[in-house]
Amino acid sequence: MTGSASPSIFTRIIDREIPADIVFESESLIAIRDIAPQAPVHLLVIPKTPQYRDVVELAAGDPGLLAEVIATAKSLADEHCGGEFRLVFNTGESAGQTVFHVHAHVLGEGEGTQTLTEQTLGD
């Protein structure tokens, strides 16, 4: 991080300064349950590096890490929602991005829940 910017909430979770419901962790990624879920299953897959603000920066700067985010999202979807899921990256404030530390939203239905439709977009 450059300048005097404060660490993002995700950096603080990664550093264990803020508690979270962690569902996966590797050397380069952490995945947590969203505290304000927009679907029965709503997980966030977060690179541990704060270097990239959004998915566009991540794709340009480290496509291998982006591929790892997507593979992890698929694995988590297999485990938590039968392998069918919506993967959302918000890029920019007007697109709903509130934390400027790249992260993917994994949205899916849980056991016995209703199917997600096109109208049920996560933020």
Active site amino acids: 103
Q: Which amino acid is at 65?
A: L
Let me know: does 38 contact 123? Beta carbons within 8 Å: yes
* Complete DSSP assignment for 102-120: --EEEEE--TT-PPP-TT-
The DSSP H or E segment spanning 65 is helix 63-81
Output the CA–CA distances (angstroms, integers) from residue 99 to 42, 50, 83, in the order listed: 16, 11, 26
Let me know: does 46 contact 109? Beta carbons within 8 Å: no
